[in-house]
Amino acid sequence: MRLLIRIGAFMAVLCMVALFGVGCGETVIDSAKTEAAIEENLEKSVGQKVASVDCPSGVEVKAGTTFECTVSLQNGKRETATLKILNSDADVEVTDLKSAGGK
């Protein structure tokens, strides 16, 4: 999976395997690996410590599908990252990062 995180003019790329096969040939995004990638990239890009990232499990790999992850920063603020699956290889792009109304 390639994870592209855009914050303003910033773009970071992280390549990793993020697929997990589940019965009947269905392939889903590995939420734990996606969460770890978002946390690592955000800490490097904006210099803020991330307390946690929560992505949904069971997101089927299908080009064009979008899903949201909740990012909790150590300063108490919460952000919502919107991700889009780009292709059947599970290349994922963060298309938006906005305040989720935390502190």
Position with higher pLDDT, 19 vs 46: 46
The domain segmentation of the chain, as residue ranges, is 2-99
How many other CB atoms sit within 10 Å of the CB of residue 11? 13
pTM of the model: 0.75
- The residue assigned the tokens 């997990």 is 20
**Proportion of the chain above pLDDT 70, given as a percent:** 73
| Predicted pLDDT of residue 17 | 33
Full DSSP string of 13-50: EEE---EEEETTTEEEE-HHHHHHHHHHHHHHHH---E
Residue 1 has pLDDT above 50, yes or no: no
